């Protein structure tokens, strides 16, 4: 057990970058844990078996909040068939961009599912 | 390694994996280019998703059973950029190299490579990653330097050789010349790709390191690699296949000599 006091964001980020799990661990070590847990570009979706996270330390939550971890690991909203059909009706070359924008809007609004109502709301927010 | 981008390090790595496997050398491929990974694609395993088993990550195996581990297997889509989680990407220069070093260490040590004779590590352009590797692998057998005969590339490559020898203290297994000539797919004639004052062979000689041979540019080779099949096996007798096998033999010999 080692103890350190991390006094600012830069220090905390630096220590996390070294693969140190701040707050300790509650689950066994997993292979490529640092790589997968530090990957913001969808790493955990791209490999099987999520890396361990969390800890018993009461400050872990505070650290994660301060580092924006909660915001950077949002659950990806689920698309309904109706909403996907509407995406498929638009020109293919702009589909990825529209999907990203709709997902971003859904996350901001706290929607876990993207249906046709959410898509209408996105259009409304863009003044269309 | 080369130090210069665009000389074909990844292509040569894929070719060497093919050649060494043909020679019966148990070979693995690790893509150490975290920001521009392409080895999964070049080895024909880009859709593989690594999975943990018995405390290690299982690498992809291509059509001729070479294990491959690459960052692009962890990214959800081909064009997804590598972004590390942080409260802000500003100031990333202070921590990015550390997280990349940790990632490289895990790609190396947390992969279940099985029994290997040779692990080929494809480096990104620049000399920094070689120093990282030398820190992680003090017993690194040697660096294979890839260069074209472009005088611009050779100047940068020359600098990298000096860096490897004098700063990183890494032995050079030899220099491979890539895109030495172009084999016309219509008539089969062999055309010189670059003309300059110094040849790649002379560059190797100047630095006192072995010249391991040349691989010609071949338009079908690039296309072929992405299928993950063995170019050498299916194009036996073609000058490019012969050249790759020849380079692989010399690489194997050089690595064996270095590791003694």
pLDDT tens, position by position, B36-54:
898 998 998 988 888 888 8
Q: How many CB pairs lie under 8 A apart between chains A and B?
A: 111
| B221 token code pair | 């080779």
Residue B103 to residue A34, Cβ atoms within 8 A: yes
Higher pLDDT, A72 or B35: B35
Give residue A54's pLDDT: 46
Q: How far apart are CA A27 and CA A12, in angstroms?
A: 21
CA distance A26 to chain B (A): 16
B55, B83, B99 member nearest A41 (Cβ): B83
Residue A41 to residue B81, Cβ atoms within 8 A: yes
Give residue A62's pLDDT: 58
Task: Tell me if chain A has a CB within 8 Å of the CB of B93.
Answer: no
**Percent of chain B, pLDDT > 90?**
40
pLDDT tens, position by position, B182-208:
877 788 788 888 888 889 999 999 999
Higher pLDDT, B78 or B212: B212
CA distance A69 to chain B (A): 7
Residue A32 to residue B75, Cβ atoms within 8 A: no
Give residue B30's pLDDT: 96
Residues paired with residue A33 on neighbouring β-strands, in sequence order:
none
Give residue B97's pLDDT: 81
Total length of chain A: 128
Residue A49 to residue B52, Cβ atoms within 8 A: yes
Question: Which residue matches tokens 């350190």?
Answer: A4
| B196 token code pair | 């300059």
Residue B102 to residue A13, Cβ atoms within 8 A: no
SS3 for B28-67 is EEEECCCCCCCHHHHCCCCCCCCEEECCEEECEECCCCCE
∠ CA(B236), CA(B113), CA(B75), 5° rounding?
Answer: 90
A38, A47, A73 member nearest B84 (Cβ): A38
pLDDT-wise least confident of A57-61, B162-166, B224-228: A57-61
Averaged pLDDT, B132-140: 85
**Percent of chain A, pLDDT > 70?**
64
CA-based nearest residue to A73, from B63, B85, B53: B85
Cα B139 to Cα B39, B105, B133, B215: the distances in Å are 24, 15, 10, 28
Q: Is the pLDDT score of B171 beyond 60?
A: yes
Task: Tell me if chain A has a CB within 8 Å of the CB of B35.
Answer: no
Q: How far apart are CA B102 and CA B91, in angstroms?
A: 18
| B99 token code pair | 């997280």
Residues paired with residue B30 on neighbouring β-strands, in sequence order:
B69, B121
pLDDT tens, position by position, A22-79:
776 666 778 888 788 777 765 555 565 555 444 445 555 555 555 554 444 556 788 8
Q: Is the pLDDT score of B133 beyond 90?
A: no
A9 interaction partners in chain B (CB closer than 8 Å) = 87-88
H/E stretch holding B151: helix B151-162
Give residue A41's pLDDT: 61
- Residue B230, classed as helix, strand or coil, is coil
pLDDT tens, position by position, B92-106:
777 788 888 888 999
Give residue B145's pLDDT: 92
B56, B84, B95 member nearest A39 (Cβ): B84
Higher pLDDT, B115 or A64: B115
CA-based nearest residue to B216, from B3, B12, B23: B12
B34 interaction partners in chain A (CB closer than 8 Å) = none
Residue B106 to residue A46, Cβ atoms within 8 A: no
pLDDT tens, position by position, B50-75:
888 888 999 999 988 999 999 988 88
CA-based nearest residue to B195, from B144, B134, B131, B149: B149
Give residue B25's pLDDT: 95
CA distance A30 to chain B (A): 6
Give residue B146's pLDDT: 93
Average confidence score pLDDT of chain A: 73
Q: Is the pLDDT score of A20 beyond 70?
A: yes
Q: How far apart are CA B257 and CA B260, in angstroms?
A: 6
pLDDT-wise least confident of A64-68, B19-23, B76-80, B166-170: A64-68
Higher pLDDT, B158 or B91: B158
**CA B200 to chain CA mean position, Å:** 18
Give residue B248's pLDDT: 93
**Percent of chain B, pLDDT > 70?**
98
A65 interaction partners in chain B (CB closer than 8 Å) = none
CA-based nearest residue to A8, from B100, B97, B83, B91: B91
pTM score, whole prediction? 0.74
Average confidence score pLDDT of chain B: 87
| Per-residue pLDDT band at A14 (split at 50, 70, 90) | confident
Give residue A75's pLDDT: 66
Give residue A100's pLDDT: 83
Q: How far apart are CA B253 and CA B211, in angstroms?
A: 12
Give residue B201's pLDDT: 93
CA-based nearest residue to B231, from B185, B189, B254, B243: B243
């Amino acid at each position: 057990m080692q103890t350190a006091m991390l006094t600012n964001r830069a220090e905390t980020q630096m220590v996390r970058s070294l693969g140190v799990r701040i707050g300790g661990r509650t689950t066994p070590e997993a292979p490529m844990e640092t790589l997968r847990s530090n990957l913001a570009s969808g790493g955990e979706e791209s490999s099987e078996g999520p890396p361990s996270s969390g800890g018993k330390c009461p400050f872990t939550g505070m650290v994660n909040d301060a580092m924006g971890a909660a915001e950077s690991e949002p659950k990806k909203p689920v698309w309904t068939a109706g909403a996907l059909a509407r995406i498929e009706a638009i020109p293919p070359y702009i589909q990825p961009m529209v999907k990203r924008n709709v997902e971003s809007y859904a996350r901001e609004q706290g929607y876990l599912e993207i249906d046709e109502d959410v898509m209408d709301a996105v259009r409304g927010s863009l003044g269309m | 390694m080369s130090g210069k981008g665009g000389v074909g390090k990844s292509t040569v790595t894929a070719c060497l994996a093919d050649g060494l496997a043909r020679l019966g050398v148990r070979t693995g491929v690790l893509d150490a280019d975290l920001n521009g990974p392409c080895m999964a694609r070049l080895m024909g395993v880009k859709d593989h998703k690594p999975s943990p088993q018995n405390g290690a990550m299982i690498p992809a195996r291509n059509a001729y059973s070479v294990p491959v581990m690459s960052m692009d297997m962890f990214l959800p889509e081909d064009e997804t950029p590598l972004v590390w989680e942080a409260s802000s990407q500003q100031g990333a220069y202070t921590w990015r190299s550390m997280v990349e070093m940790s990632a490289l260490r895990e790609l190396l040590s947390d992969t279940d490579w099985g029994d290997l004779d040779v692990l080929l590590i494809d480096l990104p352009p620049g000399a920094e990653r070689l120093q990282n590797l030398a820190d992680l692998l003090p017993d690194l057998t040697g660096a294979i330097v890839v260069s074209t005969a472009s005088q611009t590339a050779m100047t940068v490559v020359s600098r990298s050789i000096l860096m490897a020898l004098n700063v990183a203290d890494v032995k050079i297994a030899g220099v491979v010349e890539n895109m030495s000539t172009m084999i016309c797919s219509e008539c089969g004639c062999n055309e010189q790709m670059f003309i300059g004052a110094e040849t790649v062979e002379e560059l190797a000689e100047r630095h006192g390191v072995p010249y391991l041979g040349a691989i010609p540019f071949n338009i079908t080779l690039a296309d072929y690699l992405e299928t993950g099949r063995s170019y050498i096996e299916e194009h036996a007798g073609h000058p490019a296949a012969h050249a790759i096998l020849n380079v692989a033999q010399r690489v194997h010999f050089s690595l064996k000599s270095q590791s003694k």
